[in-house]
Amino acid sequence: MHIAILVFEQEKKFLLPGTKMLMKKARAMKHRVTILHEHNLYIMYDGQRESLFCSGKPLPKYDAVVVRPSFSYDPSIPASLIRQFELKGYLVINTHSAVHRAKNKIRTLQLLHHYQIPMPKTVVLFGEEQLDVVMSEFRYPVILKSAYGSGGSGIFIAESKRSLKPVVEHLLKRSKSEPIKIQEYIAEAKGKDLRLFVVGKQVVATMQRSAKKGEFRSNFHQGGSVKGIEPTPEEVKMALDASFGLGLDISGVDILRTKKGPVIIEVNSQPGLEGITKATGIDVAQKIVEYVEYRVDLQKKEIPFFLKSFDSSQEG
């Protein structure tokens, strides 16, 4: 099987640890792996056809394209590139629409609400004018987040009204007037959250993340500590519902345990592999490759069946 891994790293020769783990595992499982870097790709249109090129050469046929969307900016353009692979007939994991939903945190909120999945009280703010009115809904401290971001980037805490305004100004200026999120701070979580790693229709691994001293973000790449933990059936269902709701094949669903029950704070379309593998001892990269194998095998069975059904419908 020939697997392409589509990456969006800022530095051309840099690969995130999770991408390296996935590549090494796929090769260890006797698959051919090609890394496709966004910067080396281009699309050609000539009025009659469209072609995808990498470093000046037309892309060959891959059995699957696994997307590692590490960008933390407006996802519409990267999603269009992912969509191009789908239009050319490649099996893409995760799809462009799923990545777009997960990367656009406002769209994520809309879908979680649509599927009635619990989340903390959150306000989407489009400018400073309504800040005072909005803050009447909250007690300090509050969490502030940019519309796009992952790995703990673009997340701030405001302990008081005095510290709130400069953070809001910074986020709005940095994001060029894109909306920001103001979210209630869950004190009883005590700087801990759960990361449930979803592959297909299964939660394959779960870890608890704890923020380091003096830090409110529990992300592994922000220095948080991790350990394996058994999720409750309710938490498993929430993670699967959230991943399904966004259309993701592979996701990391972050959950806080509150007095009122679990709530989802994040759905990530590029969950890291390093921390959860270390915490649980589960080879998550292998789970992903096995899922890709399953999807490729399923597609090979579905296509002949479709063609047979189509041919039958033309008879007579």
Q: What is the pLDDT of residues 222-232, one digit of tens each?
A: 557 899 999 99
Whole-number Å distance between alpha carbons of 242 and 248:
9
Q: What is the pLDDT of residue 46?
A: 87
Q: What is the pLDDT of residue 316?
A: 41
- Specify whether 156 is located in the same domain as 202: no
- Specify whether 71 is located in the same domain as 145: no
Residues in Cβ contact with 266 at an 8 Å cutoff, skipping those fewer than 6 apart: 252, 253, 254
Q: What is the pLDDT of residue 175?
A: 63
Percentage of the chain exceeding pLDDT 70: 89
Q: What is the pLDDT of residues 251-307, one digit of tens each?
A: 999 999 999 999 999 999 999 999 999 999 999 999 999 999 999 999 988 777 656
- Specify whether 256 is located in the same domain as 178: no
Domain CATH number, residue 256 = 3.30.470.20
Interior/surface letters 262-274, b for 16+ CB within 10 angstroms, e for the rest: bbbbbbbbbbbbb
Of the residues 185, 214, 239, which one is the last residue of a structural domain? 185
Neighbouring CB atoms inside 10 A of 9's CB total: 17
Give 201 or 221, the one with higher predicted confidence: 201
Number of domains in the chain: 3
Range of the domain at 175: 121-185
Domain CATH number, residue 132 = 3.30.1490.20
- Specify whether 194 is located in the same domain as 272: yes
- Specify whether 175 is located in the same domain as 253: no
- Specify whether 280 is located in the same domain as 207: yes
Is 161 domain-assigned?
yes
Prediction pTM value? 0.89
Q: What is the pLDDT of residues 143-168, one digit of tens each?
A: 998 877 655 567 889 999 889 988 88
Give 153 or 142, the one with higher predicted confidence: 142
Whole-number Å distance between alpha carbons of 294 and 302:
12
**Rg of the chain, C-alpha, whole Å:** 21
Whole-number Å distance between alpha carbons of 251 and 246:
10
Compute the Cα dihedral for 211, 216, 218, 223 and give only its sign: negative
Closest CA to 251 of 42, 68, 28, 56: 68
CA angle 54, 73, 37 (to 5 degrees): 15
Q: What is the pLDDT of residue 314?
A: 47
Q: What is the pLDDT of residues 91-134, one digit of tens each?
A: 999 999 999 999 998 999 999 999 999 999 999 988 888 888 99
Is 27 domain-assigned?
yes
Is 271 domain-assigned?
yes
- Specify whether 13 is located in the same domain as 91: yes
